[in-house]
Structure 1
Amino acid sequence: MILVRKNSSLLLGFLAGTSKISILLPPSNPLTPLRLFTSKADDPSPKTPFIVKYLIDSLGLSSPEADKCSKSLAHIKSPSNPDSVLEFFRKNGFTDADIKRILHSNSRVLCAKVDSTLKPKFEVMRDLGFSDTQITKLITANPFALNYLSYCNVRPRIEFFNTFLDSKDDIVIAISKDICLLASSLEKTIKPNIAFLRECQFSNERIGSLLINERRVIGRTLDSLKSIVKRVHELGMQRGSGMFYHAFCCFCKISANTVDAKIKLLSSLGFSKSELFSAILKQPLLLGLSAKNLCETVDFLVKEVGCELSYVSRHPSIIGLSLTKRLIPRHYVMQLILEKGLLKKKINIHQFASISERKFLEKFIFSFQQRMPELPDVYLSASAGKFLY
């Protein structure tokens, strides 16, 4: 009873401001005690910006996605223009998933005027023979293409690319991969670069392959292309050859310093200068492999398989094969077949590693299955990194 009275008096004292606790509170602000006991979770959250809420409600973007896309759209306070843009895209065959991909890359498209900006761009492509499906594919794959689809910019390029590419689908693929084909100057960059490649004896088919398969080649500076060709010449490759083309493609992807480092690495693995350049001449793509890949594969071929470096340099394509998915499991199975007496003589690794999977199965797995029923399972397990014997 005494305790109850004591606690009651303390509570009354606190409310009256007479308790010792009151010295911690500013007497001039009676609301301060309430604020001290109010958590941050109870504070009202800031109002969601209009455009963020719009992107969430109209396209189902997550809050982080909508926030990211809204960075350049903060000035939009009304749904009228964004609504017209979304309606235009949907009427032209774009799914909401397509529109999301476009906004992630080029969110300012929501600011575009449908009648004066978007419709003319689509009409240009249709006039040039592109189907709605092709237009959708192009813009979804490379939303920045919308920035360059004006009549005077696109028409001469498409006519020029028709020389090297067989179809509108090929042109869509090329532009989708490399916006430079639309953004770079046709007269000052693209045409001079292709003229130089022709001087290097690249056929129209080779140039078309570059347009489709290699990003950021045709849009480079001419000096950059000349530097790459010079490096290819220094390896002793002749213009017009297939190896010259492959080396050129490889060097477009890696720097001169990387090439020098790879050559130095291969030398450190024991290749003589003549073996090294023989390997690169036959397989220039070796220079694009990682240092780890090169070291581990050469180490396996020499120490586990027993290859001489001279053999590897004569068959450099085996260095580019997957170590874990092809070289190791096939070598393992071939050794097992040999030990079981199913083969009369040892077969060089290049002979069985370089053939297709189908041919390998037919020639070395299924043909011996009757005499060694477990062989398919052994090979399958080895390919998964598990060795049964």
Structure 2
Amino acid sequence: MILLRKNFSLLLGCLAVTSKISILLPPSNFRTSLWLFTSKSDDPSPKTPFIVKYLIDSAGLSSSEADKCSKSLTHVKSPSNPDFVLEFFRKNGFTNADIKKIICSHSRVLCANVDSTLKPKFKALRDLGFSDTQITKLITANSLALNYLSYCNVHPRIEFFNNFIYSNDDIVRALSSNICLLSSSLEKTIKPNITCMRECQFSNERIGALLINEGRVIGRALNNVESIVKRVEELGVPRGSRMFYRTFRCLCRVNADIFDAKIKLLGSLGFSGSELSAILKQPLVFCLSAKNLCETVDFLVKVAGCELSYVSRHASMIGLSITKRLIPRHYVMQLIMDRGLLNKKIDFYFFVSISERKFLEKFISSFQQRMPELADVYLSASAGKFLY
């Protein structure tokens, strides 16, 4: 009887505890609630994923770099293949810094098969006469090139580019900065664009310069390149002229909307008619920001006292640095004129456009005896400080 009472008391105690818990939490959540109240110290601590730790320890990446790169390598559970890749790069002259840069820009290279993928790509470049140093420079600068370096892809391209670029160092420069020279179709895109440029009477040397410095345009659709040619012609620049080439090169970096906006901006600054036509033939105006263009024209007209017609005739002034060239030289010109050191007025364009060496000889050194502080005045003005 005593044992029965004790068991009944225990049962009542359990029911009491259960009833208190049920007041706080719905019965359906009871199991979950018990899990929430268990100590977290009993759970295993989260481990750093294998590939993140590998990228940090073996490739030298920072934790943030490793975390970012690991997103495309989550399937990698073993160090064997990545180890082969790292060893291959090191044996081929890549420094740890080179390898880190490659992985950060193209982490999936660690999944490449060394024998069937990487070795043939390196061999293709060596067979074309590229040195180990050049190969290292190319792949470090543009690791995505590894995706396109099969022999059948790269061999005809290099042979074609050799018609315009005469050294492997310059080809490396072109391929390093413009992946489209490897990724775009040679027959459907690159060759038709080159033909269009030849029709503009560009020499092979100028086409080579475009491949090296403006290679992205070579990878665009033909109608895009033709639209650039059309815009240059609309400015009244004749094909075959040096200015046509210079303007074409500048407009490679400017889309049609920016081109139209820049013409509208120049109109708002007061240029119209023949003045606007003249200034538009100076391709630098399309490469300047709207802010820079406005500040420069404002200075030339309101501070230097130039007429808009004068600015349009000497539009290259707009491309000069306002802080490092125009303002310091104008300041010096005013000083030497105020001191009576010049017998006649200097043409402003000549004053600001001559080389730095000639400017120092003609307008600083020659007045050194009569105005010893002039050199310091000019240096200070070039640094944004004005002594007078």
TM-score by length of 2: 0.89
Q: C-alpha separation between the residues in 1 aligned to 2:271 and 2:208?
A: 36
> Which residue in the other structure is 2:6 paired with?
none
Runs of 4+ in 1 over 2 A off after TM superposition: 22-26, 40-45
DSSP 3-state at the match of 2:233: helix
Q: Which amino acid aligns with 2:245?
A: Y
The 10-residue stretch of structure 1 (73-82 or 350-359) with the greater mean CA deviation from structure 2:
350-359
**One-letter amino acid matched to 1:383:** S
In structure 2, the CA distance between the partners of 1:288 and 1:348, relative to structure 1 (3 Å rule), is same
1:214-253 alignment to 2 at 5 Å?
A: 214-253=214-253
Partner of 2:8: none
Cα shift at 1:231: 1.0
How many Å apart are 1:258 and its aligned residue? 1.2
Match of 1:329 in 2: 328
Alpha-carbon distance in structure 1 between the residues aligned to 2:219 and 2:84: 35
Return the alpha-carbon distance in structure 2 between the equivalents of residues 366 and 359 of structure 1. Answer: 10
Residues 1:224 and 1:239: Cα distance change in structure 2 (over 3 Å): same
Q: From the superposition, tell whether residues 46 and 293 of structure 1 become closer, same or farther in structure 2 (CA, over 3 Å).
A: same
Shift of 1:45: 4.4
Deviation at 1:172, TM superposition (A): 0.4
Specify the code of the residue in structure 2 equivalent to 1:139. I
Q: Which amino acid is 2:82 matched to?
A: P
Structure 1 residues 158 and 23: alpha-carbon distance in aligned structure 2, compared to 1, 3 A threshold: closer
For 2:23 and 2:381, locate their aligned partners in 1 and report how far apart those are by CA, in whole Å: 75
For 1:80 and 1:325, how far apart are their aligned partners in 2? 56
- Which residue number in structure 2 is paired with residue 70 of structure 1? 70
Aligned Cα root-mean-square deviation (Å):
2.4
Q: Per-residue CA shift, 1:143-201, capped at 9, x if unaligned?
A: 01000111111111111111101100010001111111111111111111111111111
Question: Where does residue 145 of structure 1 map in the other structure?
Answer: 145
Query: Where do 1:47-86 residues align within 5 Å?
Result: 47-86=47-86
Cα distance in 2, alignment partners of residues 41 and 87 from structure 1: 41
Amino acid at match of 2:327: I
Contact 1:93–1:132 under 8 Å retained in 2: yes
- SS of alignment partner, residue 218 of structure 2: coil
Residue number in structure 1 paired with 2:350:
351
Partner of 1:305: 304
**Deviations 1:312-341 (Å, cap 9, x if unpaired)?**
000000011111111001100111111112
Taking the aligned partners of 2:261 and 2:140, their CA distance within structure 1 comes to: 39
Provide the residue aligned with 1:120 in structure 2: 120
Matches within 5 A, 1:226-305: 226-281=226-281, 283-305=282-304
CA shift digits 1:269-299 (9 cap, x unpaired): 1112101111222x12212211111111111
Report how far residue 41 of structure 1 moved. 10
- Cα deviations by residue, 1:188-235 (Å, 9 ceiling, x for unpaired): 111111111111111101100100111411111111111111111111
Partner residue of 2:208?
A: 208
| Distance (whole Å) between structure 1 residues aligned to residue 205 and residue 41 of structure 2 | 65
Deviations 1:331-362 (A, max 9, x none): 00111111112222221221121122222222
Q: Is the 8 A contact 1:232 1:247 kept in 2?
A: yes
Please give the per-residue CA displacement for 1:39-80, whole angstroms capped at 9, x wherever unaligned: x99986421110000000012211110011111111111111
Partner Cα distance (2:163, 2:107) in 1: 34
Q: Contact 1:69–1:107 (CA<8 Å) still a contact in 2?
A: yes
The residue that corresponds to 2:373 in the other structure is: 374
Q: Which amino acid aligns with 2:346?
A: I
Give the counterpart letter for 1:324 in structure 2.
T
Sequence identity of aligned pairs in percent? Answer: 75
Amino acid at match of 2:184: S
Tell me: CA distance 1:77–1:336, structure 2 relative to 1, closer, same or farther (3 Å).
same
Q: Tell me the residue number matched to 1:316.
A: 315
Q: What 5-or-longer segments of structure 1 have no aligned partner?
A: 1-16
Q: Partner letter of residue 330 of structure 1?
A: R
Amino acid at match of 2:319: G
Q: 1:60 to 1:271 in 2, by over 3 A?
A: same
Return the alpha-carbon distance in structure 2 between the equivalents of residues 273 and 93 of structure 1.
Answer: 60
Aligned counterparts of 1:43 and 1:387: Cα–Cα separation in 2: 69
Distance 2:101 2:308 in 1: 49
Kept in 1: contact 2:181–2:215 (CA 8 A): no
Is contact 2:266–2:276 with CA below 8 Å preserved after alignment? Answer: yes
Return 343-352 or 297-306, whichever deviates more.
343-352
TM-score by length of 1: 0.89
Residue 97, structure 1, aligned to residue 92, structure 2: no
Deviations 1:53-111 (A, max 9, x none): 00000122111100111111111111110001000001101111111111111110000
Cα distance between partner residues in 1 of 2:205 and 2:225: 18
Map of 2:5 onto structure 1: none
